[in-house]
Structure 1
Amino acid sequence: MALITIAGFPASGKSSRAHQLKAALDARIQGHDAPFKRVAILDDNALGLSRACYDESKLEKPARAALFTAIQRQLAPDTVLIVDSLNYIKGFRYQIYCAAREMKLRTCTMFVVANPELCRQWNSSRQDGNAYAEQTLDNLLVRFEEPSSMVRWDAPLFTVTSDDDDVPAAQIWEAITKGNLKPPNSGTLAVAKAPADALHVLEQTTTALASAIMSASAAQPTGGLTIVATSSGIKASITLPARHITLSELQRLKRQFVTVHKKAITLGTTERGGVDWSEESVANKFVEYVQEHL
């Protein structure tokens, strides 16, 4: 039900802060009637990604793709997911944010702050084999894109410095339980597709109605005329102008109407499910189209 993104310089103590935050949130889940069942940490080590993957862009891109895939897989309504990775690119943080919004989850960012010299010192003192190469560390420090509370994908933003004893667990808990729950972006919503027989219904209904309109017009060729066209039990009313209607004119209007709606069907652009492809709906739309253009 929540996603917490941790950002900061490499070797700035992000993993330590992530585990501090997990312990604090676990304690709150045990002591409260919380909407979450568990807190999970997703980091590079869990995916088998070594620090060497940041040495070259051709290695970093697939590693980042693997991380994003794992994030999507672990996002769940009953889980607080803490993403403990570099997350130094604002475009990647935005991508994570959009994935969380699509799942209707609350989000926040924790920015772990440490000066570059301290990061170099901590990196060189690591004995677990997870140290960055010196050149890679310098490159990542230069490329780091600092999160900002002014942009929606980093907000709300909580900052933790190297001098802080603990993380702001209370404020983060408030954000992930009571913060604004933003709806998914409209661009990420699945577009409702037309039914499989939509093309058949469109063609058959318009053909039958064009014939019915022509027959009624021939029976009463003069003056304004209101008819009820019946085709397969479908009725539609139309008012024709006080002039002779030709067959070629009706066929042209039918072709135009079918072409426009066929494109909507084949491309899947059905007004996000707002189009009703039943025979009755198609008939009403067609007679409105004919009446308007006549």
Structure 2
Amino acid sequence: MPLIILTGYPCSGLTHRAHQLSTLLSSIQDSLTDTTTSKGRYKFHIVESHDASHPRIVYDTARSEKEARAVVYGRVKRALGKDTFVIVDGMNYIKGWRYQLWCESKAATTTCCVVHVGTPIDQCTANNEARIRKRERKEKGTEKEEQQEANKDSETAETEASPTTDDDEEPYPRELLENLIFRYEEPTTHSRWDKPLFTVPWSDPTPPAEDIWTALTGTPIPKEQSTTDNTTPLTTTTPTPQTASTTTPSLTSKRTSGRAALPRPKIIPHQATIQPTTTDPSALHAFEKRTSEVISALRTFSLENPSASAAIANSSAGITIPVPGATTSVFIPAEALASTPTDELAGAGGILALPRLQRLRRQWVGMNRAYLGQGHARGQKGLEVEQAADAFVRFLNAEFEGVEG
């Protein structure tokens, strides 16, 4: 389930580091859980950015690069399942693209980290040139030239430390390589989607797999279970046979005490990555129906009582209009009636004119569209259909009370 995003210059050994991480993390898991069952264990999946359908020349045009990136995004989204380490093999040189993958990990409630393969530009260029020469040898197919180039490669390998051995990757065109290096956006710890950030220099034989495991799973690795610490202190004295027999079971008990189910870190996604809950498709129609019933009741009252002065004769405070489906009534204060330019309730400029009521109805429905069956914030209960009439009446009362001449 954790996501590891590799990033670096082209021809910096990203594929080699991806397979290294998969092997090292798998060995760490084996040392922590002494069990033969697959229950509670992580699986490891490497998502490659290039294949036969999407070669490295896709970076020549923006359209082909966008299509290839969409394929990678779909693979990552499908692979982000339960109990799976997903390693994204590729340059991932755009910070917006890394942010998109980070958001996807948050939506899947899993952890994420960035591993920067820090290979110098000169070394990346040399690696690409070696791939070009190797491809040219395969195209020519002459054994003599293969032997000469092999001797040259063996001489240069003695002076340069290379973590890769059999490099059969496809080379980049020279101009494209320079362009990609120029366009590279280096990760930084100031960006939350680039944290935690691990840098692997070209000279390091292995990446910091133990630190990556601890950061992604939240499980610290005991010193006795470290797969890289094989040295003993010089000050340690040789134990006697009796002492050795007493200390050996303690080490064995620590190794065999690993649980079958590894702990999973709890990730709370933020509001930007929370998927909205599905609502009843007829909820909006029900809201429209309830508000239309309120408007129809007001329209019927204005037709039966066209004069505002006659309607207010029974009460000097204002007009009270009961509406169906609501526990409260619509109340129009006397001050609001006096501020209208006409005495007709439903006439042009009247307080109950049909265009005005329809405008207020559309305004209320638009304001509450996001609250249909859910809350705008996480965990907040939304507006139910049964509450629509009362809520709309309160909105109308507030509008009528605030009418100014």
TM bucket by the smaller chain? 0.7 to 0.9
Distance in structure 2 (CA, Å) of the matches to 1:32 and 1:58? 45
Picking from 132, 136, 144, the partner of 2:172 is 132
Residues 69 and 161 of structure 1: CA distance in aligned 2, closer, same or farther (over 3 Å): same
3-state secondary structure, aligned to 2:5: strand
- Is structure 2 residue 316 aligned with structure 1 residue 223? yes
3-state secondary structure, aligned to 2:352: helix
Picking from 91, 95, 98, the partner of 1:86 is 91
Which amino acid letter does the alignment assign opposite residue 217 of structure 2? T
Q: Structure 2 matches for 1:143-222, cutoff 5 A?
A: 143-178=183-218, 181=267, 183-186=269-272, 189-190=275-276, 194-208=283-297, 211=300, 218=311, 221-222=314-315
**Corresponding residue of 2:59:** 54
Whose Rg is larger?
2
**Corresponding residue of 2:243:** none
Residues 185 and 286 of structure 1: CA distance in aligned 2, closer, same or farther (over 3 Å): closer
Q: Could you state the TM-score of these two structures normalised by the residue count of structure 1?
A: 0.82
Distance in structure 2 (CA, Å) of the matches to 1:90 and 1:219? 66
3-state secondary structure, aligned to 2:194: coil
Measure how far apart 1:32 and its partner are: 4.0
Q: Structure 2 matches for 1:17-96, cutoff 5 A?
A: 17-32=17-32, 37-45=42-50, 48-96=53-101
- Is structure 2 residue 383 aligned with structure 1 residue 276? yes
1:202-231 deviation digits (Å, cap 9, x = unpaired):
212443366579989949731347968352
Residues 290 and 169 of structure 1: CA distance in aligned 2, closer, same or farther (over 3 Å): same
Measure how far apart 1:160 and its partner are: 0.4
Q: Could you state the TM-score of these two structures normalised by the residue count of structure 2?
A: 0.62
Asked if 2 retains the 8 angstrom alpha-carbon contact of 1:123 and 1:131, the reply is: yes
Alignment: residue pair count: 290
3-state secondary structure, aligned to 1:81: strand
Measure how far apart 1:37 and its partner are: 3.0
5+ residue gaps in structure 2? 34-38, 135-167, 219-264, 338-343, 376-381
**Corresponding residue of 1:12:** 12
Asked if 2 retains the 8 angstrom alpha-carbon contact of 1:209 and 1:231, the reply is: no
Measure how far apart 1:45 and its partner are: 4.0
Distance in structure 2 (CA, Å) of the matches to 1:119 and 1:136? 13
Asked if 1 retains the 8 angstrom alpha-carbon contact of 2:114 and 2:198, the reply is: yes
Asked if 2 retains the 8 angstrom alpha-carbon contact of 1:4 and 1:109, the reply is: yes
Measure how far apart 1:262 and its partner are: 3.6
**Corresponding residue of 2:357:** 254
Asked if 1 retains the 8 angstrom alpha-carbon contact of 2:286 and 2:385, the reply is: no
Asked if 2 retains the 8 angstrom alpha-carbon contact of 1:106 and 1:182, the reply is: no
5+ residue gaps in structure 1? none
Distance in structure 2 (CA, Å) of the matches to 1:197 and 1:220? 36
3-state secondary structure, aligned to 1:181: coil
